[in-house]
Structure 1
Amino acid sequence: MIKRTIYIGSPAYLKLKQKQLVVENPEDKSIKGTVPIEDMALLMLDHYQITLSNQLVIKLQGNNVAIISCDAHHLPFGVMLPLHGHTEHSDRVKYQLKASEPLKKQLWKQTVEQKIKNQQTLLRLNEKPYEQMDLYWQNVKSGDTTNCEGKAAQHHWKHLFENFTRERFGHSPNNMLNFGYAVLRSIVARALVSSGLLPVLGIFHRNKYNPYCLADDIMEPYRPFVDKMVYNYVTQYGVPEKLSKDCKAYLLNIATQDVWIDGLERPLMVAVTTTTASLYKCYYGELRQIKYPELD
């Protein structure tokens, strides 16, 4: 069953009743809606006047639901995850800690290659210059020592949107990309925890201030799926001046986008769990190739 993403964007009191999330209007105590906890994957809180009961938080964490809080700019700011989400957590972490540098460099090489291939496909599908991307993904070295990822990214952003510069706080549609990537990061972090891995221990990213280094690594080949959604939105509706509720509702559908992975078409959220499960098997020594999605 496809897990649901729940977005709360107005004042609300959230509580637990009969294994369901209950959304209550704080003014008149009326019930605005209910959702079974077992159906949820992400809960996004996008208003300062939202209150959660601790009983609800514990139940959400027990079901591996990622709780995402947004900042004043309505962008995902933090994510709350359970400390562990797999019965073999401690054993799996041992293999993650023992992963050799050559293995991690090979995994990063595979990650960069698939990211560039997906970027190339997105350009090709939209009749943008894509041929040069062959040069980048075919020449990725172990650990991407020649920075093919960065070179491919420059080409990707130069041609995907007109008169566009990809910046963290740049003009729209940067805000849509930022929002989509933040949601994607939460999905990946949740899947890593459910696979018994620590999101903080990356295969490439090593920033000591970043608690989600591994999530930032594994999400890279999935980023073009966010790019695709943003491109389609801009093509149909134009570049939005601000990140409206409609934009956010549209981007939250990233979790249910169909992707090809391991020879099957699956929702992105399910595909991510396939990726994180294969990552553990690479750590364990059962696989040599991490499973990533193919954009088509």
Structure 2
Amino acid sequence: MSYHIVSIDAPDCSLSCKDGQLTCKSAEGDRRVPLEDVGAIIITSFSASIHSKLLLEAAKYGVGLVICENFKPASLVLPANRATDTLLTRAQAYIPAQLRQRLWQKTIDAKCLNQWSLATELAPDDHRLAKFGALARGRSPSKEAECAKLFWRIFAERVAETDDFRRERKGGGPNNLLNYGYAVLLSTILQNLFAVGLDPTFGIAHVIREQSTPLAYDLMEPFRPCIDWRVAEWIRLHPGEEGMEVTREFRQWVTGFPLATVDWFELTLDVRGVIEGVTRSFRQAVTTAQTGPYRPWTRTTTKWAG
């Protein structure tokens, strides 16, 4: 599979293909990239026009197109040979129970460490951090729930500034901000799953429901603190009740999180690039039936930048 996943977000752009080159024309000028170097094209632009020549040439080169509405994938255009990747589909559908458990454990380990890291940033003098860190690095069967309880208590005190805050899908306070941010994160994960050919309906831990995408929910877990940090910063900059409303300005603020720079092992990338790398590593783990290739993101920089 070719390496590059090309994201198209320029407004009023035109996409076409000439001499094997993907061409994007916009007010910012023309940009070109060889189709042979492209693995997938993600289109989040609200008003892009796509020439039929690009659809045909993309099919010849095995390039998939993910077309989004409000950043959430709405349509998937795949070449016939990629739409019938039976080896990958079979590998996803029949992940051995032990491999599934080990992949999920790596995911939860990363999530808990990231929550502890963010809690340390939000409340560096909190007396619960030592216990939190030990839990995040430990192997307790209830580790995820215990870390979540500690994290949201600290978040409530230092961000929501109330003892009444509870993390709930339909709760008040910062919950609406968090829900919107998680929706943006979920869409970003879905974009990359489709781009590398993974079926998001085959998850490793989240429950399968009608029209659900459990794998996207699985892989987004370590990145949730990126949204938590983004929301915490927004509330700090906008104190009071108005800071709890999902305004147009907040939507613009939170949708910018994929461009924040973070470290991922020995690389420094934006969050969008890290999500792509994690998705690819998961794909390799599934196709090889090994946990080694899978590398969920864990924050390593001294300054939280999610």
TM (normalized to structure 1)? 0.75
Measure the CA separation in 1 of the matches of 2:10 and 2:251. 9
Amino acid at match of 2:286: Y
Q: What is the deviation of 1:260?
A: 1.6
Q: State the shift of 1:176 in Å.
A: 1.7
What secondary structure does 1:99 align onto?
A: coil
Q: In the alignment, is residue 111 of structure 1 matched against residue 107 of structure 2? A: yes
1:133-212 equivalent positions in 2, closer than 5 A: 133-140=132-139, 146-160=141-155, 161=159, 162-163=161-162, 164-212=165-213
Task: Return closer, same or farther for 1:283/1:156 CA change in 2, 3 Å cut-off.
Answer: same
**Pairwise mapping of residues 95-110 of structure 1 onto structure 2 (< 5 A)?**
95-110=91-106
Task: Check whether the contact 1:6–1:40 (CA below 8 A) recurs between aligned residues.
Answer: no
**Kept after mapping to 2: 8 A contact 1:201/1:213:** yes
Residues 210-249 of structure 1: matches in 2 within 5 Å? 210-238=211-239, 240-249=243-252
Tell me, which stretches of 5 or more residues in structure 1 are unaligned? Answer: 9-13, 24-31, 46-50, 70-75
- On the 8 A contact 2:15/2:49 being kept in 1, the answer is no
Structure 1 207/232 Cα, relative in aligned 2: closer, same or farther at 3 Å?
same
Equivalent position of 1:121 in the other structure: 117
1:188-236 per-position Cα deviation (integer Å, ceiling 9, x unaligned): 1111122221101100012322421000000000111111111112112
**TM-score scaled by structure 2?**
0.73
Q: C-alpha deviations, 1:39-74, integer Å up to 9, x for none?
A: 9745276xxxxx988979x969965334134xxxxx
Within the candidate set 67, 76, 91, 1:82 is matched to 76
Taking a change above 3 Å as real, the CA distance of residues 54 and 206 of structure 1, as seen in their structure-2 partners, is farther
CA distance in 1, matches of 2:66, 2:168: 30
Report the secondary structure of 2:44's partner residue.
Answer: strand
User: Relative to structure 1, is the Cα distance of residues 21 and 285 closer, same or farther in structure 2, using a 3 angstrom cutoff?
Assistant: closer
For residues 7 and 120 of structure 2, what CA distance do their matches in structure 1 show?
31
Matching residue's letter, 2:134: L
The question of whether the paired residues in 2 share the 8 Å contact of 1:275 and 1:292 is answered with yes
Write the distance in 2 (CA, Å) between the matches of 1:15 and 1:7: 6
| Shift in CA distance, 81/254, structure 1 to aligned 2, threshold 3 Å | farther
The DSSP-based 3-state class of the residue aligned with 1:82 is strand
Contact 2:202 2:214 survives alignment (8 Å) = yes
Matched, 1:267 2:270: yes
Q: Which segments of 5 or more consecutive residues in structure 2 lack a partner in the other structure?
A: 18-22, 34-39, 302-306
Counterpart CA distance in 1 for 2:247 and 2:137 is 39
* C-alpha displacement of 1:91: 2.3
Q: AA paired with 1:82? A: L
Contact 1:255 1:268 in 2 (8 A): yes
RMSD (CA atoms) = 3.5
In structure 2, the partner of 1:72 is none
The 2-side partners of 1:95 and 1:258 are apart by: 33
Q: Which residue identity lines up with residue 96 of structure 2 in the other structure? A: S
Identity level (%): 20
Distance 2:147 2:177 in 1: 21
